[in-house]
Chains A and B, each alone.
Chain A
């Protein structure tokens, strides 16, 4: 396991931005966030929402538990602001009628359908770097740390929401992501457990997602 980066304090702060890979002074709460649409979750996250310009790692313990629905509030907000949502390498077909019911107009959605992690990471990285999209959602099987680090750096160059879905097996490794969250189903709700939050603290909330019937 790589040793965690030391917290560096340098002045002026602009200097820090020129040195990639060094954690910035905003070890503190992220400067810009986008509300999740759930008051309890906003209260738990540093800065009061999903961090912009930083990578959020989502680890659902299984699929089909509301792991994307938890983002719906933020994604809809971005679409309303005429920004694009990019699905990179999702495990299945993003179903157009479901996107529309979730308040995501189809011209705002892009689906990158690639066959491997390498191209998926490349596409996500380009999208983040260009800063052209409001949010990038990447599904990745990659276990290594390096591609994640690259994504985190790419996310920092823009002001997009950057989410990466990763398998449970990655939990045993440390993560360079600014925010690391495990998603677990409970009875009639989704458990959102914050494992790591740059500038915040761990904790968990239950959200009323997945309450069919």
Chain B
């Protein structure tokens, strides 16, 4: 086994857990120590998948950078050795147990994960480096400092395995991000928003999942939360794409007050579609960029502005269609009469244009209490426009309802 330890500088428990969730993309075995604020990833079994140690370490490093963390990492065959090495800047990776002794012997005793009293005592007895401690007989150490020290050394050197319980990511995703100072501007929200979306992306990769809906809430002092919800056409897990969509929404949102906290919640996950991974096919490519476009349009213009059309089974022209969020494949009933491209809310006609041809009688809706017996005509105005008019049978009044564009 090979362990990569991350010293992230992240202190809050919930933020460390989010980081552990993010780390799931690199390893199926993640250890989290919230007291020591450390994170370990078992990477021995992921090396091949990520193309070797250097590639994996570089991926982790650039991921941490995207989270705007200044972290140090180290690689060693035991959990405690990785933690010890990670306290040094740029410690070279140690891959095998037999190289471990040499690598840690020169490190100061003060860096060992022992109780402060034990460290002070060891230093008081003249020990300075780990190597000196390792030369002392274990039973003497145990008698003097208790089993704590020898147990630790055994785990450090790989003589005993660490029996920690791996971190298990939650089934739904909830992340909160607290600000030390209330944030007044939208710009101030963008950085942390992007960061928590990167964490989410890592979590999704780790679960091999994607999402189609997420909600973000901005918590204020004296006002109700400002809530944004995002729905995507295709399953998504790309942080930057989600960020672009949320940013579009956010920049069109009026914040009533400074923001104290951001919350990000995802309740449901879906499988990522293969089409997003393989874009060689022209049609699939168009489908993918089409879905991306729809999301972008919805984010800025709102769901109600991005419309799909449908048919309704009603004889009244104004009820024969509807707006839908998704469009279904439908067909007109056979022998459906010709209809104008533009439909208008009926407006009274003052000067009747020249009527062409015979009327079409449409009677419908009487059962709902609306008497809508109408005679529809095609008409041509003096300017050359073709109109769709009807005469209401009950009142003999004329209305314009359509235009042949």
Residues of A within 8 A of B (CB): 61-69, 82-84, 90-102, 105-114, 119, 122-123, 126-127, 130-133, 184-186, 210, 212-213
Q: A107-B329, A113-B307, A114-B305 are in contact. List 6 more A-B contacts (CB 8 A).
A: A64-B385, A65-B385, A95-B339, A106-B310, A123-B297, A212-B380
Q: Whole-angstrom distance from the CB of A168 to the nearest CB of chain B?
A: 12
Q: Is the CB of B385 within 8 A of A96?
A: no
Q: Whole-angstrom distance from the CB of B281 to the nearest CB of chain A?
A: 11
Complex Cα distance, B403 from A93, in Å, reads: 10
Q: List 22 A-B contacts (CB under 8 A).
A: A63-B385, A68-B341, A82-B286, A84-B290, A94-B342, A95-B321, A96-B309, A96-B310, A97-B320, A100-B311, A106-B310, A106-B327, A106-B328, A107-B329, A112-B301, A112-B305, A112-B307, A131-B289, A132-B290, A184-B384, A186-B384, A210-B384
Q: Is the CB of B405 within 8 A of A66?
A: yes
Complex Cα distance, B307 from A94, in Å, reads: 11
Complex Cα distance, B403 from A52, in Å, reads: 28
What residue in chain B is nearest A107 (Cβ atoms)?
A: B327
Beyond A97-B339, A100-B330, A101-B332, is A64–B308 a contact (Cβ under 8 Å)?
no
Complex Cα distance, B339 from A102, in Å, reads: 10
Complex Cα distance, B317 from A96, in Å, reads: 10
Leading 3 A-B pairs by shortest Cβ distance: A185-B384, A64-B385, A92-B342
Complex Cα distance, B285 from A131, in Å, reads: 10
- B289 contacts across to A, CB distance below 8 A: 130-132
Q: Is the CB of A67 within 8 A of B290?
A: no
What 0/1 readout, one digit per residue, does chain B (333-366) give for beta carbons within 8 Å of chain A?
0001011111110000000000011000000000
Q: Is the CB of A105 within 8 A of B297?
A: no
Q: Is the CB of B306 within 8 A of A110?
A: yes
What residue in chain B is nearest A95 (Cβ atoms)?
A: B343
Q: Is the CB of B308 within 8 A of A109?
A: yes
Within 8 Å by CB of B357, from A65, A100, A131, A212, lies: A212
- A83 contacts across to B, CB distance below 8 A: 286
Complex Cα distance, B341 from A65, in Å, reads: 11
Complex Cα distance, B383 from A210, in Å, reads: 13
Q: Does B293 contact A (CB under 8 A)?
A: yes
Most chain A CB inside 10 Å of its own CB: which residue of B289, B293, B294: B293
Residues of B within 8 A of A (CB): 283, 286, 289-290, 292-294, 296-297, 300-301, 304-311, 317, 320-323, 327-332, 336, 338-344, 356-357, 378, 380-381, 383-387, 402-405
Q: Whole-angstrom distance from the CB of B336 to the nearest CB of chain A?
A: 6
Q: Is the CB of B300 within 8 A of A93?
A: no
Q: Is the CB of A109 within 8 A of B327?
A: yes
Q: Is the CB of B290 within 8 A of A93?
A: no
Beyond A62-B385, A106-B309, is A68–B331 a contact (Cβ under 8 Å)?
no
Complex Cα distance, B20 from A189, in Å, reads: 70
- A127 contacts across to B, CB distance below 8 A: 293, 297
Q: Is the CB of A64 within 8 A of B320?
A: no
Q: Is the CB of A97 within 8 A of B305?
A: no
Most chain A CB inside 10 Å of its own CB: which residue of B290, B330, B356: B290
Complex Cα distance, B310 from A110, in Å, reads: 11
What residue in chain B is nearest A67 (Cβ atoms)?
A: B405
Complex Cα distance, B331 from A99, in Å, reads: 11
Most chain A CB inside 10 Å of its own CB: which residue of B339, B343, B405: B405
Within 8 Å by CB of B308, from A111, A131, A213, lies: A111
- B309 contacts across to A, CB distance below 8 A: 94, 96, 99, 106, 109, 111
- B405 contacts across to A, CB distance below 8 A: 63-69, 92
What residue in chain A is nearest B387 (Cβ atoms)?
A: A64
Q: Whole-angstrom distance from the CB of A118 to the nearest CB of chain B?
A: 11
Q: Is the CB of A133 within 8 A of B342?
A: no
Complex Cα distance, B280 from A46, in Å, reads: 32
Q: Is the CB of A101 within 8 A of B339?
A: yes
Most chain B CB inside 10 Å of its own CB: which residue of A64, A99, A132: A64
Q: Whole-angstrom distance from the CB of A52 to the nearest CB of chain B?
A: 14
Complex Cα distance, B289 from A130, in Å, reads: 7
- B378 contacts across to A, CB distance below 8 A: 212-213
Q: Is the CB of A98 within 8 A of B385?
A: no
Beyond A62-B384, A68-B341, is A96–B320 a contact (Cβ under 8 Å)?
yes
Q: Is the CB of A92 within 8 A of B385?
A: no
What residue in chain A is nearest B403 (Cβ atoms)?
A: A64
Complex Cα distance, B292 from A127, in Å, reads: 10
Within 8 Å by CB of A213, from B310, B329, B330, B357, lies: B357
What residue in chain B is nearest A187 (Cβ atoms)?
A: B384
Q: Is the CB of A66 within 8 A of B342?
A: no
Q: Is the CB of B311 within 8 A of A69?
A: no
- B300 contacts across to A, CB distance below 8 A: 119, 122
Most chain A CB inside 10 Å of its own CB: which residue of B301, B341, B387: B341
Complex Cα distance, B320 from A145, in Å, reads: 39
- B332 contacts across to A, CB distance below 8 A: 97, 100-101
Complex Cα distance, B305 from A114, in Å, reads: 6
Q: Is the CB of B331 within 8 A of A100?
A: yes
Q: Is the CB of B330 within 8 A of A101?
A: no
